[in-house]
Amino acid sequence: MRLYLMRHGKADFGGVDRLRPLSERGALDVDAVAKYLSAEGVGVARVYHSTLLRAKQTAEIMAAALKPEHAIEERVGIEPWGDVAAFVDWAAGLSEDTLVCGHEPFMGDAAMALRASGGDFISVKTATVMAFERTDDGWTLDWLINPKLIKKEAS
Amino acid sequence: MKLYLVQHADALSKAVDPDRPLSPKGQQDVADMAVWLKKSGVHVDEVVHSGKLRAEQTANAYGMAVLPDVSAIKLEGLSPNDSTDHLMHGCEIAGGDLMVVGHLPFMARMAARCLTGAEDGITLNYQPGSIVCLQRIDDEWVMNWMMRPEMLG
């Protein structure tokens, strides 16, 4: 099975942090990524997002394109300050292809933790998606894309 | 600098052709990836390969997209089980962005060494034709992206 870790798109600044919405460009970035992945045959059964609005909106745009079988779910604990170790334990129990929309530094830390190694070496820009595959040997990284690559391709 | 670590695309088996050129699938994959590279605006200053035919053919196809009018050149020390020291040193002294086309496990070991300091520090699921884009900022390496032909179906 695959686990897709995604950072929300660019958000507007100001106001209460958890209520900051995606900016116009942020929504366009996410939509470009969503449509690209859908066109390439990527599908998921489940979509989760954090308790913050920008991640929820990101999940909604992704779900519209990737058409998960199950309703989108909010998940507590994948906020920027979430518990990475608990997330990795949870991921170990997943049985269906799953997309999780969250934040930095959590997603980068989670990516490192899935690989059981230290260091902060993945560049997780907004609307980046990382595809991890669970193998007999643990999680491996299949690919990593960001909207900059996709949007240029679309143009 | 940016370092693009590439595994050669799908090749014919030794039994079919001892020189192991790219298979029809491999040829299609490199053509698709080359179009994508060009559209994505990837540009490098040098393209090198291991000297094996399948790596040279992949380097030439990607090279036409990322460094037009300049031929890819053979670099020593890129065989599957070579030490990564030689290429690490090359990166130290490189004057620009570099695309390196070779083999597994070398490419996966090199990427992991750059990113984590250890050749087994991270497992990248390379497939034939995959490209991993690393960037060195100050003295630290980060992964910018990782693409495989499957993503361009």
User: B51 pLDDT exceeds 70?
Assistant: yes
pLDDT of A118: 57
Token pair listed for A103? 């934040």
Mutate: best of B32, B146, B148, partner A, most A CBs <10 A:
B146
Inter-chain CB proximity A119 and B40 less than 8 Å: no
ipTM of this complex: 0.88
Look at the block and give the residue holding tokens 């066109």.
Answer: A39
User: A106 pLDDT exceeds 60?
Assistant: yes
For the domain that residue B39 is a member of, what is the CATH number?
3.40.50.1240
Residue B117 touches chain A, beta carbons under 8 Å: yes
CA dihedral angle for residue A149, residue A152, residue A154, residue B3, rounded to 10 degrees: -40
pLDDT (mean) for B29-39 = 96
What is the band of A114 on the pLDDT scale with cuts at 50, 70, 90? confident
pLDDT of A155: 44
Token pair listed for A119? 């260091």
pLDDT of A131: 94
Which residue in B115, B141, B145 is closest to A145 by CB distance? B145
Residues of B in contact with A123 (CB under 8 A): 135, 142-144
pLDDT of A117: 60
pLDDT of A142: 92
Inter-chain CB proximity A121 and B140 less than 8 Å: yes
Residues of A in contact with B153 (CB under 8 A): 40-41
Give the Cα separation of B118 and A133 in Å (integer): 21
pLDDT greater at residue B95 or residue B21: B21
pLDDT, tens only, A43-75: 999 999 999 999 999 999 999 999 999 999 999
For the domain that residue A64 is a member of, what is the CATH number?
3.40.50.1240
Contact B71, B56 (CB under 8 A): no
Q: How many domains does chain B have?
A: 1
User: B24 pLDDT exceeds 50?
Assistant: yes
Inter-chain CB proximity A121 and B142 less than 8 Å: yes
Residues of A in contact with B36 (CB under 8 A): 153
Chain A residues contacting B, CB < 8 Å? 40-41, 115, 117-119, 121-123, 133, 135, 137-146, 149, 152-153, 155
Query: What phi-psi label fits residue B7: left (phi over 0), alpha (psi between -120 and 50 degrees) or beta?
Result: beta
Q: How many domains does chain A have?
A: 1
Inter-chain CB proximity A40 and B115 less than 8 Å: no
pLDDT, tens only, A78-104: 999 999 999 999 999 999 999 999 999
pLDDT of A1: 93
| Alpha helices in A40-96, H assignment, sequence order | 53-66, 84-92
Residues of A in contact with B111 (CB under 8 A): none
pLDDT, tens only, B65-114: 999 999 999 999 999 999 999 999 999 888 899 999 999 999 999 999 99
User: Could you tell me the residue range of the domain that residue A30 belongs to?
Assistant: 2-154
- The amino acid occupying position B59 is A
Highest mean pLDDT among A108-122, A135-149, B32-46: B32-46
Residues of A in contact with B115 (CB under 8 A): 119, 121
pTM of the model: 0.91
**Cα-based distances in Å from A68 to A49, B78, B99, B105:** 13, 43, 37, 35
Residue B143 touches chain A, beta carbons under 8 Å: yes
Determine the distance in angstroms separating the CA of A40 from the nearest CA of chain B, rounded to an integer.
6
pLDDT of A150: 82
Residue B2 touches chain A, beta carbons under 8 Å: no
User: Could you tell me the residue range of the domain that residue B141 belongs to?
Assistant: 2-152
Give the Cα separation of B21 and B19 in Å (integer): 6
Give the Cα separation of B149 and A13 in Å (integer): 37
